[in-house]
Amino acid sequence: MENNKNHIAYFCPSLSWGGLEMTLLKNANWMHNRGHRVLIFVQQGSRIHQEAEALEMKVDFVKAHKKYYDFINASRLIKKLKKHQISHLVFSDPKDMSICAMAKTWSTRKFFLAYFAGMQIGIPKRDLLHTLRYNSLDLWSCLLPWLKKQVNELTRFPEVKTKVIPPGLVLEKYFNAPPALEAKQLLKLDVSKKFIGLVGRFDEQKRQLLLLESFNQIKNETSHNLVFLGEPTHGESEDYFEKLKNFVKLNNLENRVHFIPFRKDVETFYAALDVFVMATNSETFGMVTIEAMASGCKIVGSNKGGTVEILNHGELGDLFESGDANDLAKKLMLSITNENFDPNRNRQAAKKYDSEIFCDKVEIALGL
C-alpha cells in the first residue's frame, strides 16, 4: 500500500553509470517497493533514466548543472520540488550538494535534505562556505563508522545529524548461489581446480596487476588458479587491460590466469572462488567485499579504507599491507592454507547488510 504522506525524490543528474548511480537507483527502488512515493530527477536519455524506466520508476528531467552557485538550475529545481510536493530530497554525489543546498535555502516549501555520502572527505572542510552549505543538510549518512568520524573531525556538521547506514544487499541470491562445482562449469573453469578471484572493471585503481604480481610469486607453491571478472572501460582502460594480458604472457601464466567478461549473475562467480581479493589501495566501502562474505569466500583485503572495518580488523579475512605485492603474496598463502576457515561465519557476518535492515534504517533516519 502506497504511503501518500511523504514524497521522496532522488536527485541524480549524472550521465555516468557507475557504483554511485547504480546504488542510488537500487535504494530508490527498494523504497518504492516498500510503498513509498518515489521520484527520481535525472537527465533525459541518461543511463539511469533508462534503467529507472525499466523498473517502472517515476522520473522527471533536470539539466546538467555547475558544481557551485548555479542559481538558474537551483531555481528550476525549486519549481519541480514544489510541483511534485516533495517532502524529502536525497542525493549522493558531492557535486550535487551546492544546487540541492541552494534549493533548500531558497524554497518556501520546506523539505528534508539528505546526503548519502559514498566517498570519504579527505581534507578539512571547516571553512565558512562549506559550513554554510552543510547547514542546509538535515542528514549526512555515512557508510561506516570511520567515515562518520571523518565528518565529525573535518567539518563543523552537527554530530547528531550524522548517521552510519551501511549499504544494503539482497542476500538471498548469494545464499542460494549454485554449488561450487556447478558454478565452475557455468563459467567454463576447470572443476578440479580452486580459484583466487577479483571482481571489478580493469582499471589501475582496482590493482589487478598487483594481484598478478603476487600470484606470480606463489604460482609454484599452490595449485590454485587466478580468475578475474570484469571488462575495461571503453576508451579509458584498454591499455591497462593489455598490460595485464602481457604480464600473463611474459610469465607463462596463460594456463593459470583466466579473464571472464562481466556478467549479471555475479553470485555464480563468487560461488566458484576459494579466495576473494580486494586489492584496491583504499576502498571507501567495497560492496564486492560484502558480496564475497555473503558467498562464504575466504577474503584477503587491503589494510586501508573501509575494508578494514568490513573485515572487522582481520577477524573475517586477512589484511595485507596496501600496495605491497610481497605481503599480498604471503597473505594469499595464509588464506589458501587456512584449514580452520568457516564459510558460515562470513555468511552470518554479512546478514547485518541485508537490504531490509538498510531500508529500516533509512526510514528511521528520514523520519518516515
> Is the confidence at residue 3, as pLDDT, over 60?
no
188: left (phi over 0), alpha (psi -120 to 50) or beta: left
173: part of which helix (H) or strand (E)? Answer: helix 172-175
Q: Taking residues 170-177, report their average pLDDT.
A: 95
Is 3-168+353-366's fold the same as 172-352's?
yes
Task: Give the CATH number of domain 172-352.
Answer: 3.40.50.2000
User: Which cell numbers in the block locate residue 244?
Assistant: 595485464
Q: Are 275 and 298 in contact (CB under 8 A)?
A: yes
Q: How far apart are the first and last CA of the chain?
A: 15
What tens digit of pLDDT does each residue of 287-340 get?
Answer: 899 999 999 999 999 999 889 999 999 999 999 999 999 999 999 999 999 999
| The predicted structure's pLDDT at residue 235 | 63
What tens digit of pLDDT does each residue of 43-102 get?
Answer: 999 999 999 999 999 999 999 999 999 999 999 999 999 999 999 999 999 999 999 999
In whole angstroms, give the CA distance from residue 128 to residue 112. 22
In whole angstroms, give the CA distance from residue 69 to residue 132. 13
> Is the confidence at residue 118, as pLDDT, over 60?
yes
Q: Are 305 and 319 in contact (CB under 8 A)?
A: no
277, 186, 201, 343: CA torsion to nearest 10: -20
Neighbour tally for 136: CB within 10 Å: 16
Q: Predicted confidence band at 4 (pLDDT cuts at 50, 70, 90)?
A: low
> Is the confidence at residue 366, as pLDDT, over 90?
yes
Residue type, 207: R
What tens digit of pLDDT does each residue of 224-251 get?
Answer: 999 999 988 666 668 899 999 999 999 9
- Range 53-59, long-range pairs (CB < 8 A, 24+ positions): 55/25, 55/29, 57/25, 57/28, 57/29, 57/32
What tens digit of pLDDT does each residue of 140-159 get?
Answer: 999 999 999 999 999 999 99
The residue extents of the domains of the chain are 3-168+353-366, 172-352
Residue type, 210: L
In whole angstroms, give the CA distance from residue 290 to residue 349. 9
Alpha helices, DSSP H only, in 3-95? Answer: 19-33, 47-54, 71-83
| The predicted structure's pLDDT at residue 201 | 86
Residue type, 34: R
Q: Comparing C-alpha atoms, which of 151, 123, 124 is closest to residue 137?
A: 151
DSSP string for 264-321: S-HHHHHHT-SEEEE--SS-SS-HHHHHHHHTT-EEEEESSTHHHHHTGGGTSSEEE-
Third-level CATH fold of 3-168+353-366 = Rossmann fold (3.40.50)
Strand ranges (E), the chain? 3-11, 36-42, 58-61, 88-91, 112-116, 139-142, 162-164, 195-199, 225-229, 257-260, 275-278, 298-302, 318-320
Range in 115-119, 166-170, 172-176, 282-286 with the lowest mean pLDDT:
282-286
| The predicted structure's pLDDT at residue 328 | 98
